[in-house]
Amino acid sequence: MMAQAQPRIVALLHGEDQPGIVWKVSGWIYQRGGNIIHADQHRDGASNIFFQRLEWDPLGRDPLEEMERFRVFAEVELEMRVRTCLSTYRAKLGVLVSKVPHCFHDLIIRGLTGELPGDIVCVISNHTALRSEAQRYGLPFYHVPVTDSNRDQAEAEQVRLLKAHDVKLVVLARYMQVLSGGMLDELDVPVINIHHSFLPAFSGARPYHQAHRRGVKIIGATAHYATAELDAGPIIQQEVARVSHRHSVEELIRKGRDLEKTVLAQAVRWHLEHRALAYGNKTVVFD
C-alpha cells in the first residue's frame, strides 16, 4: 500500500511592512528543513501593510508542531498576524437559505462532487420550502422562523445549531434576512454572503428591479464577508454580464442567478483554500 503523503502547512500572514520579511520567512522554513511549494505576497502601499500566503512541506517534521512554531515565530519575531492550517483540513460549513434555491443546490452539488475542500453539515432556513431537498441530499435541515417579534430568539437558536455542528464557515445562500451584529459576534466564525448585485451599487432589496429602472448596461453579483452593516463587508469576488435595454427584469434575474452561483462558489472555495485574507473593509485574494 502506498504511504499517504504528509500534509503541507498553509500560512496567511499580514502586518506592517518591514525590510527582509520574505527572506526571514523563507529562511526560517529552510533552516528547519522545509520545502516551499507555493509563495505569494502583496504590499499595500497606501497602508504600508505586507501580506503573504505560503504553503510548504515540513519534510519529516511533525506538521502540527511546525505549524505552532511558525505561528510563534511570525507573531513574536515578525510582529505579524498569522493564520495557519494543514492542507488536509476540511472545515465544516453551515448553509442558511430562504426560498430561492439556485445557490443552495449549486453549492451542495459542488460539495458532494468534491469541488469544495470542506463539508456541508447542516442547512438552516426561515422557511420550509427546501426541507425535502436538503433531506434528499442527506443533510440535516432546521426550520427556524424569523419575525420582527422573535428575531433575538431565532438568532440564538441558529447560533446554537451552528455551534452544535461545529461549523467553521457560514454561507448565506440567498438567505433573505440580515444577521445582527450580536449574532455575528456570537458565531465568531466567518460568514460569506452572496448579494445579487455588483456592490456597492443597488444594495438592499430587489437590486435587479433597481438596475432595470436605472437602465444599466451591466449587471453583477458580489460575494463578501458579512458584517453588521448591510452589504458592506469585505468583497471576495465579483462578476458581471452585459445587458441592454432589450432585457426584461425576468431576463436580468436569470442572467444574475448564473453569476450568483459561480461567484458564491468561487468565494467559498477561495476561503476554504485559505486564499482570502480580509483586512479593514477589503480583502487580498491570492491566486
Give the residue numbers marked as catalytic: 231
Q: Please state, in angstroms and rounded to a whole number, the distance separating the CA atoms of residues 51 and 54.
A: 10
Task: Pinpoint the alpha helices (H) of the chain.
Answer: 21-31, 63-72, 102-112, 131-136, 151-164, 181-187, 207-214, 249-272
Coarse DSSP helix, strand, coil percentages of the chain, rounded to the nearest 5 percent = 35, 30, 35
CA 71 from centroid of its chain's CA atoms? 22
C-alpha cell at 211: 438596475
What are 133's three cell numbers?
Answer: 431537498
DSSP assignment of 4-59: PPPPPEEEEEEEE--TTHHHHHHHHHHHTT-EEEEEEEEEETTTTEEEEEEEEE-T
Nearest to 66, CA basis, from 40, 30, 42:
30
